[in-house]
Amino acid sequence: MWILIGIIIVIVLLLASAEMFTDGIYSKLVGSNKVTRVVLFSSSDCSVCQELKATTWPKLIQDFPDIQFEDVDCVNSKQICVQYGIYAFPTVILARGELLESYKGSWQYPELYAAIVNKN
């Protein structure tokens, strides 16, 4: 019984510290302003990620000069990816102010373009 209570306390403490860390990462990635940001969580060993960064990502950056695009390599930034619950690659988060939305569409340019237009 006491072991179970101890485990629950440890879990609660870990979740509380994770939430504080998430707030710091959240403000770093999203910011407090009302600028739209598009964050790509990727991995260097993900072929879809590499294709996306080589073809679609530069077109989107060119077509949306007022939007901030970020690329988080989850191999080098594991802690950030774990805090956001990113375990599959690629993952794209669309952010406007404090609202975060995980993109759930195709990785093709027209679909990503439309999602950004709808978010902006």
Q: How many CB atoms lie within 10 A of CB 21?
A: 14
Q: What is the rounded distance in angstroms from the CA atom of residue 74 to the CA atom of residue 42?
A: 6
pTM above 0.75, yes or no: no
Written as six digits, the tokens of 93 are 């988060």
Q: What is the mean pLDDT of the chain?
A: 77
Domain spanning 2-119: CATH superfamily: Glutaredoxin (3.40.30.10)
Pairing of strands 36-42, 68-73: parallel
pLDDT of residue 24: 47
pLDDT of residue 29: 56
pLDDT attached to residue 83? 84
Residue 114 has a pLDDT of 94
| pLDDT per position as a tens digit, 6-60 | 455 444 434 333 333 344 444 555 554 567 889 999 998 999 999 999 999 999 9
The whole-number pLDDT of residue 84 equals 82
